[in-house]
Amino acid sequence: MKTKYLKVDPIIIYPACIKTAKKQDCFNCEIFKRDLCKSPRGMCAKKYPLHPKGCPNYGKYATCPPNAPMFDEIFDMNKDIYLIYYRFDIGTHIEKMKKRHPNWSERQLRSVLYWQGTAKKGHKEEIRKFMNEYEELGYEVCVPEGYGVDVTKTLANIGIILEWPPMKYSYRIAFAGIPKKGKSLKDIKKENPNALTNLY
């Protein structure tokens, strides 16, 4: 029996800079500085604990902002787009960690050091199973946020509610689509020769 995956209709939000034909440059953007950027691509540059300049991959990988193209610039939106996800029961994990370490803070209990490896491994296996079925049809896989997809709203439309912060479940998300004629995620590296590659 074939593995089943969920079809999605990605909600893509362009940053104001790209809309006006400018290159994304969050750290020098007044819209971003005033916390008014509506695109998920801007989230990559937002600070979080121990990372004052946002995700350390921002600007380093060919498949991360600002190097990555928008989702609909690469993928054929007339073809089916699939969600490939792995759901990790973080609620149960936190309860187990509380019993082992009753004096730990909430941040310590949630630390990705103790569960992200398991989630990554499970997600890669789901992607592998998907590609075994769909790669010959031309499908390629990406992490959609960096391509401007509002994953929270997109998944809500198919009944999957993402919690921020996650209380019960944490999800690892990938989308798969068929690139437009003459396009490929592999070509992004060629267009950004000085950037690293972070393809599945």
pLDDT tens, position by position, 171-189: 999 999 999 998 888 777 6
**Residue 200 included in any domain:** no
Lowest mean pLDDT across 41-45, 75-79, 130-134, 151-155: 41-45
The number of domains in the chain is 1
- The answer to whether residue 196 sits within a structural domain is no
Structural domain of residue 76, as residue ranges? 6-191
**Mean pLDDT of all residues in 64-81:** 94
Q: What is the arithmetic mean of pLDDT over 130-135?
A: 94
Q: What is the CB-side half-sphere exposure of residue 1 using CA atoms within 13 A? A: 2
- Measured at the CA of 86, the angle between CA 106 and CA 40, to 5 degrees, comes to 75
Is the pLDDT reported for residue 128 higher than 90? yes
Separation of alpha carbons 89 and 194, rounded Å: 38
